[in-house]
Amino acid sequence: MSFDLLVSVSLVYVGFLFGIAYWAERRARRGGVRWLRSPLVYTLSLSIYCTAWTFYGAVGYASRSGLEFLTIYIGPSLVLFGWWWILRKLVRIGRSQRITSIADLISSRYGKSAMLGGIVTLIAVVGTTPYIALQLQSVTLSFGVFAEGAPGSFPVPDQRPTAIWVAGGMAVFAILFGTRNVDANERHHGVVTAIAAEALVKLFALLAVGIFIVWGVAGGIGPVAERIDASSLARIPLDRGRWLALIFVSGAALLVLPRMFQVLVVENEDERHLATASWAFPLYLALMSVFVIPIAAVGMSELPSWANPDLFVLTLPLAHGQDMLALLAFLGGFSSATSMVIVAAIALATMISNHIVLPLWLSLRKGAPGNLRLVLLSARRLAIAGVLGLGYVYYVWSGGGRELAAIGIISFVGVVQVMPAAVGGIFWRGATRRGAAAGVLLGAAVWAYTLFLPSFGHGVILPDRLFAQGPFGIGWLRPQALFGIEGLDPVVHAVIWSMAANCTAFLLGSITAFPAPLERLQGAQFVNVYDHSQGPRGWSQSRAEAEDLLIMAQRILGPRQAQDLFAGEARRQGKAGFLPDTSPDFLDRLERELAGSVGAATAHAMIGQIAIGTAVSVEDLMAVAGEAAQILEHSIQLQAKSDELSRTARQLREANRKLTELSVQKDSFLGQISHELRTPMTSIRSFSEILMDGEGMDPGARQRFAAIIHDEAERLTRLLDALLDLSVLEHGQAPLNCETVRLRDLIGRAVAATGSVGPGAGLAVRREILEEDVVLRTDADRLAQVFINIIANARKYCDADEPQLRIVVQRHGARLTVDFIDNGSGIRPRDQGVIFEKFSRLSDQSAAGSAGLGLAICREILQKLGGSIAYLPGQGGAAFRVTLPLDISACAA
């Protein structure tokens, strides 16, 4: 058989797969053919579990380790058959949460954690790379077999270029059918149908080879059994530890391998398909394994001892001249490799683009994400090429000569580190992000140290000395004998330690961390997924009446816009009138329109009620509550803003009122000044005219008129002085002259200054000399001015028959009060509020020579001195209280 023929057959076969994928994709888009979505296709697509490792490597595995290869089939069968409820929950969660990958599952479960998504993606890439290398290696080896099998027919091809061609071809296929579009649910009908076809090809090929070997070569079941007994196979003992470890690892791998998660959960059309798969897939595995031991036994007895048992499936038919059967077997192996690689590449590309590229892109391009769809598609295409490139690099690096099964198991143990976080997350609400991250990272680290890095061989990555003595000579840290436990198989050793570390960290991390709200919500939705989901999402089984929907839409969008939307849709569907069919497409569009107005969750719940007639689910309610809370939050913020605005408005009104008041006060102040100045000027002018006339005036009158002019001129001066004084005090320009004085002296000075002659001389001043013996530090002249003012007022205004003024001094710590109480009729309550204002001379108590500035000046002075003055009502007469500090701090300045 020529190399060209082999290549041609491969190309034709690939073309055939392209055809199937393309046809299925088109049918699916047009509504599809029912059997394309049947449980059988689903079950067959699961067969990507059986890779080239299974196809070729199982025989090799059997000839080296006997029945142990069965563990790789028993694990998944147990999971599917016995624990399909785990799968069912995974599938249900996958649908209700629109999960796109195993990384997405874990990221979503732990509060949409970008970090966890990235970690899981990295582990998946690291764990899958050897596996892809394995597929490249097996396809390349199988090419080589044909070269060796027919010496001289064509030269042995250089293996590396072959591997490159194989990798490139697979990348093209995966890119073409795996990244045609970015779809919310990430389903790929074309790819799934193609791998289902490949599943049939590989099963058929392996069965054909098996039947030929048993009945065509060995001569029936009996002779085969004899050959098995005769071979070394029967004498290989069972390693109980390895069996348990491998069954566990392969079962767990079925749940969390990225490619298995893709076909099991993401590509799942209907969760009832699981029921079929739970018996059909174990059956498929059984058929795939039934001829493994016979082929191994016959191969070992017929072929030379140097023949690679991994290739018996090809070399046995070739040795018996069955070229066509060998070609079929080659296609079977080719199918196994391509289907695994393509699905794995698509799954990894989805994870890489969603959990590594997109978060980085969004954080780099803040605010301007650009064309995200293009970014995603490009990222996926590059990721597929990158994953296959990594596989090729690993293939070249690892030398391409290792046992297939060994590489597969190392890869499994790595990816399985994700399992505790995944399974724990869907069954245990207490699981937290910290626990998941700690478990996955620690487990992966132990795996890398004990199994992955040593797999390159002693002295390749980890130095030889490390294996013999441990790092820094610490014996119990040797990679393959942790804590001094020696003699264990390396795989068992790695599984035990990595899972122990993983689970312990997961549990402890979860127990000690308190989950964030989003994480708790997601946890509840995952763990209690059956309580609030109705299976498939979307509106495929709609029973909605367009009319009902229109009524609801009108209420939300407004009649005009709703009718336009419905009429437009009806036109698009080619229907007369304005009511369209309630197709799933239309319901989706309507939901988006409504979501723009009322929020996504509310829109979904409203349409759900009309379209499916379901009660609103807890999940919907929680989402609605979330939106309501957000709206409430907004309205609280609005309320706060509005309060702030009305507060500002009130302050503005108040300021305006004060300004108006000030303006009125200024006007009346000017009016008052005018009056107070004009009054003495009137007397002065009038009397000076009289004096100027001069005639008929006795000298006594002349004298008297001159005295009046003099008095009035003095009154004018006093008024101007008071005004200037007040102005200086009000504008804070008056310096204080501090000195230490005795209160008694100060009051004495004031009483004397107000004069014991003239009007008001009859006022009896009663003092408490003992209490007045207080030493003050203050501006004595200013304080005396205050006292003089108050006492002068009493002399002027006290209207009692025997006017009397009591001065009462009291100390309150560092403060002093001096009360001035007379026995007159006092100040009327309605006037008490204004006496300290300028020009507030109360008209009915008017006395010559007063402009009504005295108390205003007193108030200003006391403010400067750190004290105050107040009117004390209810003391019998007019009563003023002056409050003072014993020592004013303003003096220091």
Partner 1 sequence: MGRHVLLIEDEPNITEAMRFILARDGWTVSSHADGATAVAAVSRARPDVVVLDVMLPGRSGYDILRDLRADPGTRRLPVMMLTARGQLRDRERAESFGVSHFMTKPFSNQEVLETLNSLVAS
Q: Applying CB under 8 A, which residues contact partner 1?
A: 671, 674-687, 689-690, 693, 696, 701, 708, 711-712, 843-846, 848
Q: Are 407 and 377 in contact (CB under 8 A)?
A: no
- The CA radius of gyration of the chain, in Å to the nearest whole number, is 51
Q: Report the nearest approach of partner 1 to the CB of residue 818 (Å).
A: 31
Whichever of 614 and 674 has its CB closer to partner 1, that residue is: 674
Q: Report the nearest approach of partner 1 to the CB of residue 835 (Å).
A: 16
Q: Report the nearest approach of partner 1 to the CB of residue 687 (Å).
A: 5
Q: Report the nearest approach of partner 1 to the CB of residue 679 (Å).
A: 5
What's the CA dihedral at 772, 778, 782, 787 to 10 degrees? -20
- Judged on CB neighbours under 10 Å (0-12, 13-18, 19+), 257 is buried
Helix axes 419-427, 102-109, angle to 10 degrees: 50
Nearest to 206 by CA among 78, 344, 335: 335
Nearest to 332 by CA among 170, 497, 202, 495: 202
Strand partners, 739: 778
DSSP annotation of 38: S
CB count, 10 Å around CB of 481? 18
Whichever of 462 and 677 has its CB closer to partner 1, that residue is: 677
Q: Are 338 and 20 in contact (CB under 8 A)?
A: no
Whichever of 667 and 739 has its CB closer to partner 1, that residue is: 667
Which two three-digit tokens encode residue 338?
A: 């391509």
Whichever of 4 and 844 has its CB closer to partner 1, that residue is: 844
Strand partners, 883: 817, 868
Q: Report the nearest approach of partner 1 to the CB of residue 686 (Å).
A: 4
Q: Report the nearest approach of partner 1 to the CB of residue 853 (Å).
A: 16
Sign of the torsion angle spanned by Cα atoms 771, 776, 780, 783: negative
**817 backbone dihedrals φ, ψ, rounded to 5°:** -115, 140
Whichever of 613 and 671 has its CB closer to partner 1, that residue is: 671
What's the CA dihedral at 55, 349, 440, 92 to 10 degrees? -80
Whichever of 650 and 675 has its CB closer to partner 1, that residue is: 675
Whichever of 26 and 828 has its CB closer to partner 1, that residue is: 828
Type of residue at 853: L
Give the C-alpha distances (Å, rounded to integers) separating 301 from 59, 206, 222, 403, 879.
Answer: 13, 20, 16, 20, 131
Q: Are 816 and 886 in contact (CB under 8 A)?
A: yes
Q: Report the nearest approach of partner 1 to the CB of residue 702 (Å).
A: 11
Whichever of 698 and 802 has its CB closer to partner 1, that residue is: 698
Report the distance separating Cα 63 and Cα 402, nearest Å. 15
Type of residue at 712: E
Whichever of 332 and 824 has its CB closer to partner 1, that residue is: 824
Sign of the torsion angle spanned by Cα atoms 584, 585, 589, 595: positive
Which two three-digit tokens encode residue 628?
A: 């309501």
Q: Report the nearest approach of partner 1 to the CB of residue 673 (Å).
A: 10
Q: Report the nearest approach of partner 1 to the CB of residue 719 (Å).
A: 13
- Residues comprising the chain, all counted: 893
Whichever of 733 and 843 has its CB closer to partner 1, that residue is: 843
Whichever of 494 and 851 has its CB closer to partner 1, that residue is: 851
Q: Report the nearest approach of partner 1 to the CB of residue 758 (Å).
A: 15
Q: Are 432 and 110 in contact (CB under 8 A)?
A: yes
Whichever of 4 and 693 has its CB closer to partner 1, that residue is: 693
Type of residue at 155: P
Nearest to 185 by CA among 49, 350, 23, 38: 350
Whichever of 632 and 707 has its CB closer to partner 1, that residue is: 707
DSSP annotation of 277: H
Q: Are 800 and 764 in contact (CB under 8 A)?
A: no
Report the distance separating Cα 400 and Cα 144, nearest Å. 12
Q: Report the nearest approach of partner 1 to the CB of residue 681 (Å).
A: 5
Q: Report the nearest approach of partner 1 to the CB of residue 846 (Å).
A: 5
Nearest to 198 by CA among 284, 256, 113, 83: 284
Whichever of 395 and 687 has its CB closer to partner 1, that residue is: 687
Whichever of 649 and 670 has its CB closer to partner 1, that residue is: 670
Q: Report the nearest approach of partner 1 to the CB of residue 878 (Å).
A: 18
Q: Report the nearest approach of partner 1 to the CB of residue 786 (Å).
A: 27
Give the C-alpha distances (Å, rounded to integers) separating 631 from 197, 627, 638.
Answer: 52, 6, 10
Q: Report the nearest approach of partner 1 to the CB of residue 670 (Å).
A: 9
